[in-house]
Chain A
């Protein structure tokens, strides 16, 4: 009887998760949606605590208090610019928990009831996916913090392939040679190494894809743990997360015109760099000053701002907000053009600008803003490079050929705020910088914007 009540409680939790995700997809209901999700989790935890098989509460209380304290601390102290690495870190903990859950319940179940093919195969999947998620997320975390700059060695993908084969072999051994916990732990080890090998070579602009994929994997690890425990709620909630992560992964890949396999297993596309760079830029790059930009903006009717990862690095979101308000006070229309993969995770720019209290209605998606650049007087590019490189449209042999870009070069004037002419992640020159209608404003993103705002004030 108690089991039936527990199942009903889990059903309530599943419904709350579904309603929560639905509400998370609209700006006006998103806060409520997140609360539904949290409520669902609370229900799930309370229902689980009534389970007959729980005898001692010591370990539980200790883990709950410790985990909650660390979680609160991390969530409260994080800066919005560091959001990608925090999400990666949380993701890793979720994957790690799934591994341990699978290992603990597999050990228990084998001792109590003996092994079955279903039990060991789902435990194999849970420990493999969970371990890949755990180390993969930690590597992503370290790379995003720039604590890890190593991007592997030649032939690392071959090693990953061998690791994948080893994982399959171990999985089969686990099913065939039941009762032997050794295979499980070996599988966890191989999964951990595999997560490392796969994520280490990926970096920079490919990060949004990796984060989205790891998000999906953490859901799948929960699904597999659900099969080990025979628990419907884990299967449902894990599948929802797995599906949502996959959709985001897909959206990111489309926005970069690359396939998931290309992101994961072929090194990032890189241009020749060196020689042709001088030809492209020589004598054609015009640099400007904050005063001149302020005068340009002053006489504009419509200004577009295109931010990239450099905005996050320079912490320029508040400065940009001030510039926007100053211009709006003068009757200039200001919009932001957001490329789907700008930044290091999906929606990164939107979060930063929201932190600076820029209304989300001002943030215009790529497909919507592109037709309007021709009617835009000035476009300011801050810390973005590859996503505004016209080569993607014009040169089929370029590594970024076919990638959808923001057509900033079609506006009357483009002001590019950048430290130097150094290339972006794709390591290719950007002819935009040498275009007739382009002006370079060299310097730190935040300082440059502050300067422009000041100059506007004195006009």
Chain B
């Protein structure tokens, strides 16, 4: 890939990220952080290439450790985000409690 194209991708993706995230409500800050954290485990792609390349034992071991670390980040990150978001889910809201609602905030 040409350097200029790579830099273009980088800049456009940063703008996209800013646009996507700016409107996130504070309630979701923690899940957003752990979810995006899991996405940063994308470095697993490089880890797999390094571990499987059979270049030298040294690079293979580096790759192995990298795959392990990245997998912890990816699997743990998505799973724990799922656990958290599940608690925010609408179906777990206890209806009777919210019927006493007097502020008319839509619930």
Residue ranges of A at the interface with B (Cβ–Cβ < 8 Å): 17-18, 20-22, 24-28, 30-31, 33-35, 37-38, 40-41, 44-45, 48-49, 51, 53-57, 59-60, 62-64, 66-68, 70-72, 74-76, 78, 80, 83, 86-87, 90-91, 93-94, 96-98, 100-105, 107-108, 111-112, 118, 211-212, 215, 218-219, 221-223, 225-248, 251, 301, 324-325, 328-329, 331-333, 335, 338, 340, 345-348, 350-351, 354-355, 357, 359-361, 363, 365
Contacts and interface: CB of A to CB of B under 8 A. Distances in A.
B13 A236 contact: yes
A345 B32 CA distance: 12
Contacts of B86: 31
Nearest to B79: A75
A54 B43 contact: no
B66 A101 contact: yes
Nearest to A232: B9
Given A37-B39, A75-B80, A359-B98, A60 B48 contact: yes
A218 B37 contact: yes
Interface string B39-78: 1111111111111111110111111111111111111111
13 contacts: A17-B39, A20-B35, A26-B25, A31-B89, A68-B75, A80-B87, A87-B33, A91-B40, A94-B41, A96-B66, A222-B43, A239-B9, A359-B94
B63 A67 contact: no
B31 A34 contact: yes
A7 to B, nearest CB: 10
Given A33-B35, A71-B73, A91-B37, A244 B102 contact: no
A347 B33 contact: yes
A97 B47 contact: yes
Contact of A241 (B39, B44, B45): B39
B47 A350 contact: no
A38 B36 CA distance: 10
B96 to A, nearest CB: 8
B69 A94 contact: yes
A350 B32 contact: no
B49 A230 contact: no
A237 B40 contact: yes
B28 to A, nearest CB: 6
Nearest to A133: B40
Contacts of A348: 30
A63 B26 CA distance: 36
Contacts of A75: 75-77, 79-80, 83
A72 B82 CA distance: 12
Contacts of A230: 1, 6
Given A90-B37, A100-B63, A48 B16 contact: no
Nearest to B59: A104
A221 B100 CA distance: 49
A65 B68 CA distance: 8
A27 B27 contact: yes
Contact of B103 (A97, A221, A333): A333
A398 to B, nearest CB: 25
Given A90-B38, A91-B37, A360-B27, A56 B52 contact: yes
Nearest to A16: B39
Contacts of A112: 55
A27 B10 CA distance: 28
B71 A63 contact: yes
B29 A67 contact: no
Given A56-B54, A63-B65, A355 B87 contact: yes
A233 B6 CA distance: 10
Contacts of A248: 21, 29, 32-33
Given A76-B79, A94-B69, A361-B107, A219 B36 contact: yes
Given A37-B39, A240-B39, A324-B97, A360 B88 contact: yes
Nearest to B13: A239
B38 A363 contact: no
